[in-house]
């Protein structure tokens, strides 16, 4: 299986250095999407070169065929951007942001 990865060269606290963006069956499918993602990232963030997007081959272990073998679910993926803690200060800020956005519309 081919995996498309976003690698942050200097990851901020609380964020993973490597994040799986998508999985593919073939290298050519992965490379096509990698090129698109890289092109769009360079357009959106022309100065920032603190990341790289790569395709990596990973071997997937075979699943057990016997029904007696336990199936362990994969842990949930962490979000790329951690959620803000719900503190009164953040709630006030987000409320003001929504009000400002609605008045500008």
CA 100 to chain centre: 29
15 lies in some domain: yes
38 lies in some domain: yes
Give the global pTM: 0.52
32 lies in some domain: yes
Number of compact structural domains in the chain: 1
34 lies in some domain: yes
85 lies in some domain: no
27 lies in some domain: yes
What mean pLDDT is reported for the chain? 77
Question: Residue for token digits 């603190």?
Answer: 50
2 lies in some domain: yes
Per-residue pLDDT tens digits for 4-43: 888 888 877 877 888 888 888 899 999 999 999 988 888 8
**Structural domain harbouring 13:** 1-60
pLDDT of residue 44: 86
Burial class (CB in 10 A: 0-12, 13-18, 19+), 3: middle
104 lies in some domain: no
């Amino acid at each position: 299986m081919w995996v498309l990865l976003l690698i942050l060269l200097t990851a901020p606290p609380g964020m993973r250095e490597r994040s799986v963006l998508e999985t593919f069956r073939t290298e050519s499918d992965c490379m096509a999407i990698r090129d698109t993602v890289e092109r769009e990232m360079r357009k959106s963030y022309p100065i920032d070169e603190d990341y790289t997007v790569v395709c990596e081959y990973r071997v997937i272990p075979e699943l057990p065929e016997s029904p007696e073998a336990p199936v362990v679910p994969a842990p949930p993926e962490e979000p790329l951007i951690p959620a803000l803690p719900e503190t009164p200060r953040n709630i006030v800020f987000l409320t003001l942001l929504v009000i400002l956005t609605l008045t500008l519309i």
